[in-house]
Structure formats: C-alpha cells, structure tokens
Amino acid sequence: MTIIVYSDVIVPECVFTPASGGSRTRQNSRTMNQGGFASANVVRGVTLRTYSLSTIVMTLDNFQRIINLAEVTDYGAFGMLMKDPVDSQTTSADGVLQGYISGVESGAIGYGNGGPLYGFRKLYAIASRAKTWPVTRPISPVITRAGSPVSSGVSAGNISISAGPSYVTFVADASRSVSIVTVGATTQVTLASAIPGLGIGDLLWLDTLSGADAGLLNDKSHTITNITGVGLNVYTLSTNTAGKTITSGSGQGRKYPQPTEQLLWTGEYYTPVQFASDNLDWDLARPGDYEDRLIAGSSISLIEVREA
C-alpha cells in the first residue's frame, strides 16, 4: 500500500550523533565508449534523501527514542517526519510556490498562474539554471505575494494550507457571475461587472460553466486579449472554442495571482521518511547500571517517502 506518513511522529534531533550521515541520490545510466567518450541517460530525475543514524555510541535514553519510532511506525510500514540536518529551511531567495492546474504543474516557478492552487518548493539555482524540490511538510510557512505577506482566512486574497501533503489555496481577489459565453476562434465572456485589476494580457479564471464542452474553459485560467462593453465587462480570451457548446450556467469569473506577481515562502520544513529495514540491531558498548549503559551497533537507515 502507499506509505502513510504520521504527521505527529517526529524524529527527535538528539538521535543524530557525530557519526550520523546522509545522502542525496539520483539514478543515471552511464556508459563510456572505447574512445573514452562518456554518455548518460537519466533514469530517475528526482532527488531522494537517505539518512544513517549511527548508534556508535549512543545513550540508552536516545536509543529508546529510536525504538519508540520503529515500533509506532511498524518498522517502516508507516512514515514519520524529521528535519534534514543540512537542508530543512528556506529563505526569500529559495522558497518558491509552484502553480497547479488540473493536477499538473502550470506556470512559471515562483509566480502566479491565474489559478488558486500552489505547491511548496525549495529552489536550487546557479546562474540561469535551477532545479526545485517539492516540500510537502512545511512548518508554519510565511507566504508573500508580490512582496506582501498573505494571511490565512476566508476573505478575498487570503489563503488556506492543507494538511500534509500541504498545498496553498488562494481565495479569489474578486469574483463575478458569467452572464454570456460566446464561442469562437477566440472566446468572449460577459461578466456581471468588471473585475478590478484585470487587464489585457492578464489571466481570467473560469469555473462552473455548463454545456457539453465546458471543460475547455472550466477550472482553467485564460489569457485576456481584449476588454470591451459599456461597463468594460466583456472579456475576450485567447482560448479557441469554435463550434463548441458552452453556456453560462452558474459560471464564475475570478481573479487569482497573476504571472507578474511573485509567490514566495520562508520557514522550516520536515522530510517524510521511513525505516529502510525491518531490523533494529544493537550491541551493548558499556554495561553497568541501566542509566549508565551505552549502545553501539550498525547504522540505522532512513529513506525519504516521496509524497504527491
């Protein structure tokens, strides 16, 4: 079954001893021809983290904490959370949000895409090249939009953050009901009134329209190519709906973060992990009274649990 991660089971930082370590892994297929020219193909282009908790040497109290973690997670049948000792926080330089539309990444990293849903990312960049790592377990993140902090709540422009795996959902800045949909090579949508702050080149989000082909417009953002009407409430969109059947129904047009608005976050985060082995081996390094005993043994491996 898919690994369920217990959000209330946290690996205590005290179990990391000086001999503990970790690894960041990818998977590439590498070859070299007789002339010494190398080639490589990416097999797994996603970085995964592994950790080694050394029990050389550990107090009995700390080893008992590891036993507790192993027992409550059924030795890796379930996951838990821990702070990576070398990579567990973001700053305004590397904490970014990534937009989603229809369940897939959409829009430039760290900017709005005209929609409500965004995932947390850690950015790794040099010069013009960048990679991101998905953060699914942020700890009390601070989110900014175009440089201004965003509050949690239900008012316009507020956000909510889901329980892990965590995503950010924006409340629309403004919403207007759709009265007319005119299909064609470009699509015209008439709203009850103009949405403040939306201009030509911006993105209009549409949802709950009706008709057999409403999926072309629903739950997506669309580029505005023109704004007309007495009340400047008729929006021409670049989306081609020629010959399609789409009606206003209970449709809504909404304004969400735009591609010109930077979306950043700062804070600490956990990495979901599980025990890599069903065994927990130990040796008694120093006998004696219970509170004076020391435990030694092989390293205990933890591996990252990748969450959607």
Q: List the pLDDT tens digit at each of the 308 positions of the chain.
A: 799 999 999 999 988 888 889 999 999 999 999 999 999 999 999 999 999 988 778 888 889 999 999 999 999 999 999 999 999 999 999 999 999 999 999 999 999 999 999 999 999 999 999 999 999 999 999 999 999 999 999 999 999 999 989 999 999 999 999 999 999 999 999 999 999 999 999 999 999 999 999 999 999 999 999 999 999 999 999 999 999 999 999 999 999 999 999 999 999 999 999 999 999 988 888 998 988 899 887 789 999 999 98
**Residue 264 pairs with which residues in a beta bridge?**
96, 144
Instruction: Give the pair of three-digit tokens for residue 121.
Output: 């990312």
Sequential DSSP letters for 224-263: EEEEESTTS-EEEES---TT---B-TT-EEEE---TTSBE
pLDDT of residue 232: 96
Tally helices (H) and strands (E) across the chain: 1, 25
The whole-angstrom separation of Cα 267 and Cα 92 is 9
Burial of 291: CB neighbours in 10 Å, binned 0-12, 13-18, 19+: exposed
Helix (H, G, I), strand (E, B) or coil at 290: helix
| Token pair 């282009």: residue | 45
Quick one: which of 137, 127, 125 has its CA closest to 305?
Answer: 137
pLDDT of residue 56: 79
Around Cβ 227, how many Cβ atoms within 10 Å?
Answer: 17
Amino acid at 235: Y
| Token pair 């065994």: residue | 279
In b/e form, how buried is each residue of 123-157, taking b as 16+ CB within 10 angstroms? beeeeeeeebbebbbbeebebbbeeeebeeeeeeb
pLDDT of residue 18: 83
pTM given for the model? 0.93
| H or E element in which residue 45 lies | strand 38-53
Q: What is the DSSP letter of 152?
A: B
**Residue 5 pairs with which residues in a beta bridge?**
79
Quick one: which of 212, 193, 200, 198 has its CA closest to 238?
Answer: 200
The whole-angstrom separation of Cα 137 and Cα 283 is 34
pLDDT of residue 170: 98
Instruction: Give the pair of three-digit tokens for residue 6.
Output: 């217990």
Q: Cα dist. 210→186, 234, 246 in Å?
A: 18, 18, 6
Quick one: which of 132, 126, 67, 108 has its CA closest to 257?
Answer: 108
Amino acid at 145: R
**Residue 134 pairs with which residues in a beta bridge?**
121
Instruction: Give the pair of three-digit tokens for residue 64.
Output: 């008992």
pLDDT of residue 151: 97
Sequential DSSP letters for 200-221: TTSEEEEES-BSTTGGGTTTEE
Quick one: which of 179, 161, 152 has its CA closest to 269?
Answer: 161
